[in-house]
Amino acid sequence: MRRTTRRKLTRAGLYVLFFALVIAVVAAADWQRLGEQFLRFDIAREQLPEIITIALRNTILFTLISFVGGLLLGVVLALMKLSSVPPYRWFATVYVEIFRGLPALLTIFAMAYMVPIALGIRVPGGQVGAGLIGLILVAGAYIAEVIRAGIQAVPKGQTEASRSLGMSPTKTMGWIVLPQGFRIIIPPLTNEFVLLLKDTSLLFIAGSTVMTKELTTFARDGLTTHSNGTPLVMAAMLYLLVTIPLTRLVALLERRMARGR
Amino acid sequence: MSDQGGREPAITMRGVRKSFGDNEVLKGIDLTVRPGEVVCVIGPSGSGKSTLLRTINLLEEPSAGSIHIEGVDILDPDCDIDAVRTRIGMVFQQFNLFPHLDVLGNLTIAQRKVLRRGRREAEQTARTMLDRVGLAEKATAYPAHLSGGQQQRVAIARALSMNPDMMLFDEPTSALDPELVGEVLDVMKLLVEAGMTMIVVTHEMGFAREMGDRLVFMDEGVIIEEGVPHEVLARPRHARTQAFLSKVL
């Protein structure tokens, strides 16, 4: 058999296998029951408008808070990691290893219950607020690595040119290196944002009140109340409504970066 | 070594050494540059010319020796190196313009952040310098939209915007397409004519012969010989200088 013939046959076989599997699943599934369990319009209507005005709003709010917090923490950790003073480097390295190595869920859980006890303070937002601190700690560790990579991607000649003009190390970092580094890391940073948006679902472990429910918690409560999966489907669609445009944006940015300015 | 008119030398280097790990790149450099003097440094690649230049504004810290800039010991731990650097302009082989700032931004950032000049004063100085390098119309362009020759002229204007007393050129035309070399050399000639103190590491023998007050030939981390450019070029005394010149001339 010629090689091209054999390749054509393999491809045809793969097509047949794929559609056979799809048809088997479609035929085996109980569509009516699935529809009743996951796409009930009366239940869907009942979720509105709170699933948007409270749940989606909280998801976005928590994402923004943890992203901004993680960004500030990330800049500090990245600068520490690149510091010429060894203890700062050690601290940042250990920090990043710990919070990247632990499950985010565990960190959030621990913070939600530990922070109020350890510091004897009431975090604004109660346990969810304390849980958010956990999410910021985790986000900071990931974002620190992204920022460090961005700083190191700025050519050394930029630092040298800046220093040769009499700019101090701090001024050089603030006016020359960081602005360029941030430009480089916009795509991976947007990626972190999307990951963080999804990770806000982990805040359910912190326990939430009616007003602090985010999408996943809201949907889970809906699932329990109605013994029906429709709220989960709605939450899923709302997540995708935000994440898909964002990931498209990242792809667009990456293409623009590749073309170069 | 003799001070012209009793003035302090612009640059005095004594016994300067620099090692990268086990590799000693500078093996005891003595060099004095008088105010207004133009010194061209030539030599094979790896001879330490760039390192020599980069020790003068302490982009490379010497392992041993002493460097004085206008009488200030820059290796003194108490020396404010940033203040000294504002008096030494530097031009790099790769231009190193700041890509996130437009031309005016490149020329004003250090004026404003280091010299604390106001926006108007900084921009006025910047425009004067842009005019000197013939790029007044490019004030709002970004570096990526300029040719290599234009970028290097902007880099020269950026250094001049700090009103330095001396300028260091590290192979300023080596990264340029041949047809763009002339415009950069022309700007440098204007600086020479204006009396700027300059150290130029270069492969442009024509520029060295025409514009240099002194030619320094380096090899393997030492100054092999120095003298009036046309004499060194025409009658090199050392075998190594002869060998090098026979290859490049």
pLDDT category, B242, cuts 50, 70, 90?
A: very high
Output the pTM of the full model: 0.82
Q: Is A166 on the interface with B (CB under 8 A)?
A: yes
Phi, then psi, of B21 in degrees rounded to 5: 65, -125
* Most confident by average pLDDT, A89-98, A101-110, A203-212: A89-98
pLDDT digits (tens, 9 = 90+) for A168-220: 999 999 999 999 998 889 889 988 999 999 999 998 888 777 788 889 988 88
pLDDT digits (tens, 9 = 90+) for B207-241: 999 999 999 999 999 999 999 999 999 999 999 99
pLDDT digits (tens, 9 = 90+) for B106-156: 999 999 999 999 999 999 999 999 999 999 999 999 999 999 999 999 999
How many angstroms separate the Cα of B79 from the Cα of each of B72, B76, B84, B94, B244?
Answer: 8, 5, 8, 29, 38
Mutation target vs B (from A156, A158, A165, A261; most B CBs, 10 A cutoff) = A165
What burial letters (b/e) apply to A91-126, b meaning 16+ CB within 10 Å? ebeebbeebeeeebbebbbbbbbebbeeeeeebebb
Q: Is A161 on the interface with B (CB under 8 A)?
A: yes
Residues A100-121: what's their mean pLDDT?
Answer: 86
From the list B147, B130, B148, the residue with the least C-alpha distance to B139 is B130
List the single residue in B with minimal CA-CA distance to A176.
Answer: B98
DSSP assignment of chain B equals: -PPGGGPPPSEEEEEEEEEETTEEEEEEEEEEE-TT-EEEEE--TTSSHHHHHHHHTTSS--SEEEEEETTEETTSTT--HHHHHTTEEEE-TT----TTS-HHHHHHHHHHHTS---HHHHHHHHHHHHHHTT-GGGTT--GGGS-HHHHHHHHHHHHHTT--SEEEEESTTTTS-HHHHHHHHHHHHHHHHTT-EEEEE-S-HHHHHHH-SEEEEEETTEEEEEE-HHHHHHS--SHHHHHHHHHH-
CB-nearest to A163 from B83, B85, B100 is: B85
- Answer for the pair A70, A140: CB distance below 8 angstroms, yes or no: yes
Q: Which residues of A touch B82 (CB under 8 A)?
A: 166-168
B79: buried, middle or exposed (CB in 10 Å: 19+, 13-18, 0-12)? middle
How many angstroms separate the Cα of B15 from the Cα of each of A31, A103, B32, B65, B166?
Answer: 88, 58, 12, 5, 22
Q: Is B92 on the interface with A (CB under 8 A)?
A: yes
Q: Is B83 on the interface with A (CB under 8 A)?
A: yes
- pLDDT value at position B6? 58
Q: Is B158 on the interface with A (CB under 8 A)?
A: yes
Q: Is A162 on the interface with B (CB under 8 A)?
A: yes
Q: What is the ipTM of this complex?
A: 0.93
Q: Which residues of B touch A160 (CB under 8 A)?
A: 59, 92, 96
Residues A20-36: what's their mean pLDDT?
Answer: 90
